[in-house]
Structure 1
Amino acid sequence: MPDSERYAALDLGSNSFHLLLAEFRDQRMVRLHTDRAMVRLAEGLDAERNLDPAIAERALTSLHRFRPALTELPADHIRVVGTNTLRAAANADGFLEAAEGILGAPIEIISGIEEARLIYSGVMAAADGPPRLRCVVDIGGGSTELVRGREIPHQLQSLYMGCVSFSKRFFADGLITENTVNHFNRARRAARAELQELQHLAQHAEVVGCSGTVKSVARVLNDGELTEIRRKDLDRLAEQVAGAKHVADLNLPNLDEERRPVFAAGLAILHAIFCELDIQSMQVSPYAIREGIVHDLAGRLHGGDRRADTVASLMHDGRVDAAQARRVGDSALDLLLQLQPLAGVKDQQRLRWAAQLHEIGLALSHNNSRKLGAYMIEQADLAGFAKTEQENIAHLVRNQRGRIKPPREHYGFHPNPDRLLCLRLACIVHRDRTDRALSALQLTAEEDGYQLRIEREWLEKNPAIEELLQQEVEHWRSHERKLRFEAV
């Protein structure tokens, strides 16, 4: 890695948006600039999971402050991620398109498990001493992540409870106690119910908390310092908050006024975690998801792309024929570079990964392998991948041969016909699992489609392929872009 490399990570969370600008100096990450906008996006989700336009507009307005920090960086040094609320929102497409226009950078919606992995990576970046078993806790605005691991995570959990969503659910209008109902106790019980069967995560492990709720509680308990949270102190604080009538009545030292509206809900979740997982003390990490994103970006550019490891693991677990995956991948990329000599890294990566996984469904079924393979890729928690990346790869796997099924396009998912054609042709050329050079094939793009020219002598040696190519021409007749085939 060069002596100095600069990266930007922007986390579009359910409670707040956070920016981190950092660089690596002699392989050590140095934080250069941080910024935060408290937007409470989760407040805008209604019962049908639609995002309220007024809150969406408030969030979009806040994004303008982050744009200057992103403009000077290369595109592959920036990663913007959306978490729980943007995962859940049924009408997120319009917001995401507008936000991308403001930021000038794409937004990746990540799964809860991918969020947990990035959080753990960030916390480990600040950890010192020899590797040891740790349990990392992050209470966000819409979800709570818990991870158990050593140098790498072993178990990851993402629970649908957060300080904003619980505030909306249990502390309407800021009320903590209403008549005889104690909302703090109700919120704590609900959190403990979500934690059932997860008690093992903290056993024999050092517990580390990170992000807003944990830091806020630590400051209240420790004279403004981010030091250890002890169970006996947390018990007293929980009892004090439960005895209040309204969040406005919370006279707590070092409580940030921006944090006040969601403090009771976050504390109820944190206390439930301590009680249910039998935690006696929690260390507090200054790092979290944003630092994890920066380390992930640096890894992608310097040979440590977690996504490549994930694909390799899937191939191993699915008993994929690695030789066939290589054949198809090499030929598909050769064809893509004929069409697009300057094809970007992202296009090439997605095509290669689709080729490596195009037979993953054979482990479950021969007749339905394409459908099952695509479903596995689309729905699985794949470390390193954004949900839209999985959808794009799944589309290629689903349509590797046969009738081309038109997809429902949405934000971040824009099927690329060039990649699709190249994968389909590569599958035809190597249908019999035989190595074949493509020097006799010439694929060009035309105004309304594609022209495939193949030397007649090559076709005479491979008559079955000629028939499959004629069928392929028929499949593309119903597509917006047509395929023409000519023997020369």
Structure 2
Amino acid sequence: MRVAAVDLGTVSSRLLLAHVEDGRIVESTKLTQITDLGQGVDATGCLSDAAMQRVIDACSGFVREIGAFAPDAVCTTLTSAARDAQNGDVLIEGLRGLGLHPQVIPGEIEARLTFYGVAHDFPERRIAVADSGGGSTELAVGSYVPGRPLELERVQSLNIGCRRITDRFLAGDPPASSQLEEASAWAAQQFSSYWDEVGERPDCLVAVGGTVTTLVAMAHELAVYDSAFVHLHELTTADVDACVDLMRVRTVDEIAQLPGIQPKRAPVMLGGALIIREVLRAGGYRSLTVSENSLLVGMATTVAEVLSGEVPAIGWTPELS
């Protein structure tokens, strides 16, 4: 069957067009635009008109792609920025005007979808998954046995993301050392609280999101992004430290010129790298595995389950159009 999944996050708007057979994606196309929906939300509590228009413009293009793909169903979700914003209904009405059926999902559902997307590469293995986005970071520990519901031990969504930490702490360009230390301490405290309640930590930490994929591209100075190289690539604490050191003395414009960085992501990359560093430190990990199979893959697989009349493995049924 054909499935379309739209994920409207705090930094990026993404579309996945997937062919699903026997519960697995066998062919897919992914489109991503950096729309920075969450710009200013942490301070104002509202989505700006400009940010909403950027998302509407991106989704107008997505709708054309969806029409050409002719899927059996479409699922559209919004995450942290829309959860926080007082005026999220304005954006939702605009998306409905494009023919989409948007739904704002809770942080726990976001974590479950992401874990499900990642876990297909780690069947029957206990893993930890971190999804570091623009406004929040979702953490989950558990395992997945094909054909059974997810077994998750601890799932939490924390309001720590690259856009949020940048807006809240990193005012300088480049930020002062004291700002970097304050931002790191804020993230470290919350991540430590999560890991303290996990018990025995899984050997494998898997991370998803634009920050970690970009860190791999930075560490290896990829002039052209290579998803096959990035997917399931190991990112060490030394890699992350080197990227932080590279960016901390540079302005946003200078960061945008570094190999492996999309210029539109440059304003939030240092903040994102600090978050990944603190996730590793708090969990006691020396490295993590980067996955490109994130929320979109979990969503597409869940939609296929619903279309097949199955009970979704993540315990949540999406609205479809």
TM-score (norm 1): 0.58
In structure 2, C-alpha distance between the alignment counterparts of 1:231 and 1:108, rounded to whole Å: 36
The yes-or-no answer on 1:124 pairing with 2:119 is yes
In structure 1, C-alpha distance between the alignment counterparts of 2:66 and 2:250, rounded to whole Å: 44
Cα displacement string for residues 227-246 of structure 1 (whole angstroms, at most 9, x for unaligned residues): 2011223233333433x152
Contact 1:139 1:162 in 2 (8 A): yes
The yes-or-no answer on 1:238 pairing with 2:244 is yes
SS of the residue corresponding to residue 19 of structure 2 reads strand
In structure 2, C-alpha distance between the alignment counterparts of 1:106 and 1:148, rounded to whole Å: 30
In structure 2, do the counterparts of structure 1 residues 299 and 27 end up closer, same or farther at CA, with 3 Å as the change threshold? Answer: closer
In structure 2, C-alpha distance between the alignment counterparts of 1:58 and 1:232, rounded to whole Å: 36
Match of 1:166 in 2: 165
Match of 2:47 in 1: 51
Unmatched segments (≥5 aa) in structure 1: 311-382, 390-488
In structure 1, what residue type is equivalent to 2:127?
A: R
In structure 2, C-alpha distance between the alignment counterparts of 1:270 and 1:174, rounded to whole Å: 21
Contact 2:42 2:168 in 1 (8 A): no
In structure 1, what residue type is equivalent to 2:187?
A: A
In structure 1, C-alpha distance between the alignment counterparts of 2:37 and 2:207, rounded to whole Å: 23
The structural deviation recorded for 1:9 is: 0.3
The total of aligned residue pairs comes to 303
Cα displacement string for residues 67-118 of structure 1 (whole angstroms, at most 9, x for unaligned residues): 112236778611000101111111111211111212x121011000000000
Unmatched segments (≥5 aa) in structure 2: 145-149, 223-228
Match of 1:205 in 2: 203
The farther-off stretch of 150-159 and 65-74 is 65-74
The structural deviation recorded for 1:121 is: 0.7
Cα displacement string for residues 112-156 of structure 1 (whole angstroms, at most 9, x for unaligned residues): 00000000011112x15x522100111111110111011123221
In structure 2, do the counterparts of structure 1 residues 114 and 231 end up closer, same or farther at CA, with 3 Å as the change threshold? Answer: same
Match of 1:63 in 2: 59
In structure 1, C-alpha distance between the alignment counterparts of 2:135 and 2:7, rounded to whole Å: 13
In structure 2, what residue type is equivalent to 1:106?
A: H
Match of 2:140 in 1: 147
2:267 is aligned, of 261, 275, 278, to 261
Cα displacement string for residues 21-73 of structure 1 (whole angstroms, at most 9, x for unaligned residues): 00124553123321112111110426441222222222222221101122367
**Correspondence 1:88-487 to 2 at 5 A:** 88-102=84-98, 104-125=99-120, 127-128=121-122, 131-151=124-144, 152=150, 153-172=152-171, 174-177=173-176, 181-200=177-196, 201=198, 203-224=201-222, 225-226=229-230, 227-242=233-248, 244-250=249-255, 252-306=258-312, 383-385=315-317
In structure 1, what residue type is equivalent to 2:37?
A: L
In structure 1, what residue type is equivalent to 2:271?
A: A
In structure 1, C-alpha distance between the alignment counterparts of 2:75 and 2:268, rounded to whole Å: 27
Match of 1:447 in 2: none
SS of the residue corresponding to residue 281 of structure 2 reads helix
Contact 1:7 1:22 in 2 (8 A): yes
Instruction: State, as a whole percentage, how many aligned pairs show the same letter.
Output: 27
In structure 1, what residue type is equivalent to 2:316?
A: G
- Coordinate RMSD, CA, aligned: 2.4
Contact 2:130 2:137 in 1 (8 A): yes
Higher helix share: 1
Contact 2:306 2:317 in 1 (8 A): no
SS of the residue corresponding to residue 51 of structure 1 reads coil
In structure 1, C-alpha distance between the alignment counterparts of 2:71 and 2:14, rounded to whole Å: 18
The farther-off stretch of 165-174 and 263-272 is 165-174
In structure 2, what residue type is equivalent to 1:235?
A: D
In structure 2, C-alpha distance between the alignment counterparts of 1:75 and 1:27, rounded to whole Å: 16
Contact 1:230 1:281 in 2 (8 A): yes
In structure 2, do the counterparts of structure 1 residues 173 and 158 end up closer, same or farther at CA, with 3 Å as the change threshold? Answer: same
The structural deviation recorded for 1:192 is: 0.6
In structure 2, do the counterparts of structure 1 residues 26 and 146 end up closer, same or farther at CA, with 3 Å as the change threshold? Answer: closer
In structure 2, do the counterparts of structure 1 residues 304 and 174 end up closer, same or farther at CA, with 3 Å as the change threshold? Answer: farther
1:9 is aligned, of 2, 5, 9, to 5
In structure 2, do the counterparts of structure 1 residues 253 and 67 end up closer, same or farther at CA, with 3 Å as the change threshold? Answer: same
In structure 2, C-alpha distance between the alignment counterparts of 1:194 and 1:294, rounded to whole Å: 31
Contact 1:135 1:146 in 2 (8 A): yes
In structure 2, what residue type is equivalent to 1:22?
A: A
In structure 1, C-alpha distance between the alignment counterparts of 2:85 and 2:126, rounded to whole Å: 35
Contact 2:24 2:301 in 1 (8 A): no
Contact 1:199 1:278 in 2 (8 A): no
TM-score (norm 2): 0.86
The farther-off stretch of 12-21 and 247-256 is 247-256
Contact 2:170 2:179 in 1 (8 A): yes
In structure 2, C-alpha distance between the alignment counterparts of 1:295 and 1:282, rounded to whole Å: 24
Match of 1:345 in 2: none
In structure 1, C-alpha distance between the alignment counterparts of 2:61 and 2:69, rounded to whole Å: 16
Contact 2:207 2:288 in 1 (8 A): yes
Contact 1:188 1:268 in 2 (8 A): yes
